[in-house]
Chains A and B, each alone.
Chain A
């Protein structure tokens, strides 16, 4: 069984994403939304740890509504997947549980 982790805080100001990455399993998924989308920038403090996770097979998603709102469309790392609320619903079904990190 696997967990979808949702993160809504910026890694530049909160340790939330770093904490999540420590306990994220390699069958789990990550969805960055609200201020969490800043975690998908190449400049993010957790960029290296995120790369390690993605290379181990974890899928990392960003919510397009929040990316567009913040003008980050051209600044995201190229190994994250963009999704919308329909996608968020699908992900919550695909994974067994949702852990909200806030």
Chain B
């Protein structure tokens, strides 16, 4: 089956990010495919290239990057939610004349249409929030 995930909560502040990641791993291990992971609401913080958790804690940004690279998964961050929370790729940073860009590699920034597309193109859409 084709799965997509929608995540609505920030990493570390709740378990949602971790639960979503473990579900993603399990579905891939069971031979299913993961079409897209859509980060909305506070989950956009998962895509920060500046995240620096302690060495003995999970690095969510890196985990998602590795999973996306290995399994060719589309990681999309909602542009409206991202901009207002200070997650910008280079294009947006230039557009809005911000001192830096901080969207981690492997994450794309796009509109809510990508969430709808995920719902339409997947057999199952699972949401993780807090």
Contacts and interface: CB of A to CB of B under 8 A. Distances in A.
Asked whether any CB of A lies within 8 Å of a CB of B in the complex, the reply is: yes
A85 B126 contact: no
B128 A100 contact: yes
B19 A8 contact: yes
Contact of B27 (A6, A89, A102): A89
B30 A89 contact: yes
A18 B23 CA distance: 25
Interface string A73-102: 000000000001110111011000110101
A95 B90 CA distance: 42
Contacts of A84: 26
Dominant secondary structure of chain B at its interface with chain A: mixed
A102 B17 CA distance: 13
B16 interface: yes
B129 interface: yes
Contacts of B32: 89
A71 B126 CA distance: 27
B129 A92 contact: no
Nearest to B21: A85
Contact of B19 (A34, A92, A93, A97): A34
B23 A102 contact: no
Contacts of A100: 126-129
Nearest to A92: B124
Given A8-B15, A8-B19, A34-B19, A86 B126 contact: no
B29 interface: yes
B1 A93 contact: yes
Contact of A93 (B14, B16, B124): B124
B71 interface: no
Interface of A: 6, 8, 33-35, 65-66, 84-86, 88-90, 92-93, 97-98, 100, 102
Give the 10 A-B residue pairs with the shortest CB-CB distance, closest first.
A102-B129, A85-B26, A100-B127, A34-B15, A89-B27, A89-B26, A85-B22, A98-B126, A86-B26, A92-B124
